Amino acid sequence: MADRQKEIPKALKFVFGGSAGMMATLFVQPLDLLKNRMQLSGVGTAKKEYTSSFQAFRGIIANEGVFALYNGLSAGLLRQATYTTTRLGVYQMLFDMASRDGHPPNFATKAAIGMAAGVCGAFVGTPAEVALIRMTSDGRLPAAERRNYKNVVDAMMRICREEGVLALWRGAIPTMGRAMVVNAAQLASYSQAKQVLASYDFFEEGIFLHFCASMISGLITTAASMPVDIAKTRIQNMKYVDGKPEYTGALDVLGKLVKNEGVFALWKGFTPYYCRLGPHTVLTFIFLEQLNATYKRYAA
């Protein structure tokens, strides 16, 4: 009876997932901004703005101030409240449904569950994602071309008013495609890495195990998802010139990117991407595991 009482309610799994993502974002928002700036480097200019992540980091602080690293924080938090809440909640529910007699599902099932959860989360979180991309990239533009959104609410209201409601879902297809790749890689690889590591006597259930599994998951996810992520970022940040969009779709972005900047540009900003995704993965799962453990420990 006590075990049933300590079972985490499904609704609370959604809350814990979103809360864990939001707490992690407070730490990694500067890295998210840096990642977006690196992916947009060279767009609309004759040459790359930054030659390295360190140069970008230093340039942002010198030109915009330290607090500029947290531009778009409100959008980042809303993204986690929508995207992460949905994807982790759906993943946990599907994971439990696919488990049999206390045994977790196999890797292929984990990957399929991760993809389904990612698509659901991406659709719900795309409006906040659009606002985040624009708010974090605004500082790189000349003063006359900046959008100057005050916060995520102002951004979404202005987008609706100036571009139409559907503009909030601009880039939804590549965003959902990215989410499929990210979640299949991140959620499945985290579960699998944790399961494999736990089979060794050296690892015991706790933060160190969660940290190691998260770092492995973050590395795999970064390598797999970067090309889709850069396409998503450029589409959501693009402007219309004489009524025509800069890109017609994700394939157009990737084609022009490879043609103009080379194949390796598909992984442009690998370091800040992993520096953002790796720690965010680590912190999200650590916070999530701790929230779950706290509930089970103190639930009546």
pLDDT of residue 45: 52
d(CA 252, CA 269): 20
Residues of the chain with pLDDT under 70: 1-6, 42-48, 187, 300
pLDDT of residue 2: 45
Angle between helices 53-64 and 270-298 (to 10 degrees): 80
Single pTM value for the model: 0.75
For residue 140, the one-letter residue type is R
The stretches of the chain forming alpha helices (DSSP H) are 2-5, 10-40, 53-64, 73-79, 85-98, 107-137, 152-163, 172-198, 207-237, 250-261, 270-298
Count the domains in the chain.
Answer: 1
- Per residue in 151-194, pLDDT (tens digit) is 999 999 999 999 999 999 998 888 898 888 877 777 678 878 88
Q: Work out the angle at residue 69's Cα, subtended by the Cα atoms of residues 78 and 187, and round it to the nearest 5 degrees.
A: 50
d(CA 33, CA 36): 5
Q: What is the CATH number of the domain that holds 112?
A: 1.50.40.10
Which structural domain, as residue segments, surrounds residue 192? 2-298
